[in-house]
Amino acid sequence: MKRFLIYLFIICFPLAATAATRPDNVYFRAMNDEMQRSLQQLHLKDHPNPYFVSYWIFHNHRWTILADMGALAPDVYNQPDDGDIVINAFLSVGSDKQDGLGFVENDQYPRWQYATQLPKKYDVPLGYESLRQALWTATDRAYLQAAKLYQQKKSYKKKKNIQDNLPDVMPTSPGHFVEEIPPFVSPDMPQLRKQIEQISALGKKYDFLESFEVYVRGGQQDWYFLNSRGAFAQYATKEIIVFLTAVFRQPNGKIAEVYKSVLLRDTSDEELARVKQKAQNFLSQVERARVAKSGSAYVGPVLLKPKAAARFLDQTLLSDLQNSKPFLLNFSDDDATAGKLYKKRDLRVSTDLLTVYDRPNQRSFDGFELDGFFPIDGEGVKAEDLTLVQDGYVKEFPLTQRPLAKNHRSNGHARIMDVYGPRERLTSVFVEPKYALTDQEMEDKLRARCRELGLEYGYILSESYPSSDLGIERIYTKDGHKETILNLDWDSSFTARDLRAVLAVGGTQELVTDANLVTPSILLQEAELVPVEHKPHRQPFIARPK
């Protein structure tokens, strides 16, 4: 039955996609009208016309709550329905054979995409004219920039005698993804404010705390996309996240500010109880860390909990799987932002203990919405799930319509990031173990390795940047007891080689939101931790008020 459903999905999805019709609403009417006008009429003397236009409109709805030490902040930080409308225009001149993209004029202002912003409360759908006006402004600026870059790229290629056998663009069929956008509904703000206020009041029990801020940000982002090749998309994504921030003085006077983020599935009482528990744990951790001793230099095995593992994986693998096609740079022969693994195709790059996937079509993990959900990419191509690394070998790369080889085909991974044009990017990355160990087994393995090396203790890192006064624990080889340690950081010069020195991979996956990564813990054979020196601060002139 399961197999049948999968087949049915595979067969039906393309049909559904081709059958999708472009929504008829104010966003699409405004985008289409301005797009048609621009393609037909936008022209600068002696410059090529635009041949490709695409628009993204993000209608962002946000609500926020902020409380500190049991006091709710004023309304400006407690908004039931805030946000904005961001309009992005992306435009190309010339032709598929030669356009102006992929060339960077200078490193100060690498701009291909133009955005304009409207306040969220512009009462769309009545705001057709406002949207048109914003699209018009962004399109005009994008065209002038595209026309300039086209000429510059042409001159640069001539100067450097670059003769491409490949066209600049190899078009792939336009993708469609349409969902009904649910109306945005704010949570029950008075009730939620009260609950957040109460969570922040937990800080009052700790007389060393100067501040314990609980900031909740939730919202919905409505996505509207249209390009001149016929691709379109409409859908909505949601997110709720809590940031806990504590400020305190260590006994030596050092002022420390530590934070933790917690994702929420919704604003139910169960989820808020979970946040409250996390806040309580966080404060206990802070209390321990306040009086913890500083660590000294260490070389040996280290257990990276998911957040720390995310930083390690980004450094050693993920950043080099992206941006495979280097930019032509007017100011350098080498594009330092380009990933290096594309040239190492079919070579072993990693331990075989883990498999790495990229899943743009997966919407959530463990009930949490994924930021990397991206059914249609920035070039309007349907995004495909990828197996990036298997058995230690790179299998697939994210690809755009900008070819890397003759038989090139985009797999829908063009992301237009900030002011950059489309580049090969990852979406939601999943790391899965070959042999999953429990958390206890991972710790046991760490201690066993320490014992082999004659080390008194090993380390467990649970934060991306452990030098931030939290997130470093020493585990003693002999009896396994743990102790919080301060003022250490890892030597961040990990290379791809370290990825082959992984001893074990845990079985409990966790979503690391900052990195769009779902990963278990990773035990490294060896890492270097170095002491971080902080200058202490003087004690307050007068005592903290009661």
Partner 1 sequence: MRKIFFMYFALVVGISPLIAQENCKVEDEIPLRLMSQELKRSINTFKKLRPSVYYLSYTYEDKQQTNLSVKQDGLDNEQNYYSRLEAFARAGSPKMDNTRPLKRESNYDRKFIFKFNYASPLAEDATFFKLSLWRSAQNIAEAAQEEFARVQTDSRAAATRQDDSDDFVLPPVSHYCHTQETVRFDTDKIGQMLRKASELTRGLSFIKDSRFGLSIEQGHRYFADSQGTQLKTPFLFVRLDYHISNQLLDGTELSRSKTYDVVRQDQLPSEEQLLADVKQSIKELEMLTNSPEADPITVPTILKNRAMGVFVHEVLGHRLEGHRQKQDSFGKTFTSKIGQTVTAPFVSVVDDATLTLFNGQPLRGFYEYDDEGVKARPVTLIENGVLRGFLMSSSPIEGFPVSNGHGRASFGELPVARMGNTRLIASKTVSYSELEKQLLQEIRSQNKPYGYIIEDLSGGFTMTESSMPQTFKLEPKLVYRMYPDGRKEVVHGADIVGTPLVSFGQIIAAADDDAVFNGTCGAESGWIPVSAISPSVLLKSLEIEKTAKNDNKPPILPSPYSLPKGGKK
Interface mask toward partner 1 for 484-523; x: CB under 8 A: ----------------------------------------
Question: 264 near 241, Cβ under 8 Å?
Answer: yes
43 is a site residue for partner 1 (CB under 8 A): yes
195 is a site residue for partner 1 (CB under 8 A): no
Q: Which stretch binds partner 1 (CB under 8 A): 4-12, 33-41, 319-327, 524-532?
A: 33-41
Q: Which stretch binds partner 1 (CB under 8 A): 138-146, 317-325, 395-403, 447-455?
A: 138-146
* Rg for the chain, CA atoms, rounded: 26
End-to-end CA gap in the chain: 66
* For partner 1, the closer CB: 23 or 326: 23
73 is a site residue for partner 1 (CB under 8 A): yes
| Strands of 342-428, DSSP E | 354-358, 364-365, 368-369, 386-390, 393-394, 414-416, 422-424
137 is a site residue for partner 1 (CB under 8 A): yes
> Phi and psi at residue 479, in whole multiples of 5°?
-120, 0
* For partner 1, the closer CB: 29 or 408: 29
* For partner 1, the closer CB: 202 or 383: 202
Q: Which residue has the tokens 């049948």?
A: 4
Q: Is the N-terminal amide bond of 545 cis, ω within 30° of 0? A: no
Spacing of C-alpha 136 from chain mean position: 30
Question: 153 near 103, Cβ under 8 Å?
Answer: yes
Q: 354 to 413, contacts with partner 1 by CB under 8 A? A: none
Which of residues 28, 31, 35, 38 is near partner 1 by CB under 8 A? Answer: 38
Q: What is the number of other CB atoms lying within 10 angstroms of the CB of residue 107?
A: 11
Question: 114 near 93, Cβ under 8 Å?
Answer: no
Rounded distance between C-alpha atoms, residue 150 and residue 145, angstroms: 9
Shortest spacing between CB 184 and partner 1, in angstroms: 16
Q: Which stretch binds partner 1 (CB under 8 A): 61-69, 365-373, 419-427, 514-522?
A: 61-69
Which of residues 1, 5, 15, 75 is near partner 1 by CB under 8 A? Answer: 75
44 is a site residue for partner 1 (CB under 8 A): yes
Cα dihedral 326, 96, 427, 380 in deg (nearest 10) = 170
* For partner 1, the closer CB: 198 or 315: 198
Total residues contacting partner 1 (rule CB under 8 A)?
A: 52
Q: Which stretch binds partner 1 (CB under 8 A): 105-113, 139-147, 403-411, 449-457?
A: 139-147
Q: 141 to 160, contacts with partner 1 by CB under 8 A? A: 143-144
68 is a site residue for partner 1 (CB under 8 A): yes
Identify residue 501 by its one-letter amino acid code.
Answer: A
Interface mask toward partner 1 for 164-183; x: CB under 8 A: --------------------
> Could you say which DSSP state residue 538 is in?
P
309 is a site residue for partner 1 (CB under 8 A): no
Q: Which stretch binds partner 1 (CB under 8 A): 203-211, 286-294, 326-334, 461-469?
A: 203-211
* For partner 1, the closer CB: 115 or 511: 115
Which of residues 57, 66, 503, 522 is near partner 1 by CB under 8 A? Answer: 66
Q: Which stretch binds partner 1 (CB under 8 A): 86-94, 204-212, 365-373, 391-399?
A: 204-212
41 is a site residue for partner 1 (CB under 8 A): yes
Alpha helix positions (H), 214-301: 269-290
Report which secondary-structure segment, H or E, holds 321. helix 319-321
Strand, helix or coil for residue 65:
strand
Rounded distance between C-alpha atoms, residue 111 and residue 301, angstroms: 44
Q: Which residue has the tokens 């004690």?
A: 539
HEC profile for 132-172? HHHHHHHHHHHHHHHHHHHHHHHHHHHHCCCCCCCCCCCCC
230 is a site residue for partner 1 (CB under 8 A): no
Report which secondary-structure segment, H or E, holds 82. strand 82-93
Shortest spacing between CB 132 and partner 1, in angstroms: 4
Identify residue 3 by its one-letter amino acid code.
Answer: R
* For partner 1, the closer CB: 367 or 540: 540
Rounded distance between C-alpha atoms, residue 321 and residue 397, angstroms: 6
Spacing of C-alpha 77 from chain mean position: 24
206 is a site residue for partner 1 (CB under 8 A): no
* For partner 1, the closer CB: 1 or 542: 542
Task: Please count the residues of the chain.
Answer: 546
34 is a site residue for partner 1 (CB under 8 A): yes
Shortest spacing between CB 153 and partner 1, in angstroms: 21
Q: Tell me the sheet residues that pair with 262.
A: 242
* For partner 1, the closer CB: 73 or 404: 73
Q: Which stretch binds partner 1 (CB under 8 A): 121-129, 287-295, 303-311, 333-341?
A: 121-129
What the block records as the tokens of 140 is 């005009």
Positions that interact with partner 1 (CB under 8 A): 29, 33-34, 37-38, 41-44, 66, 68-77, 79, 118-124, 126-133, 135-137, 140, 143-144, 197, 204, 210-211, 538, 540-542, 544-545
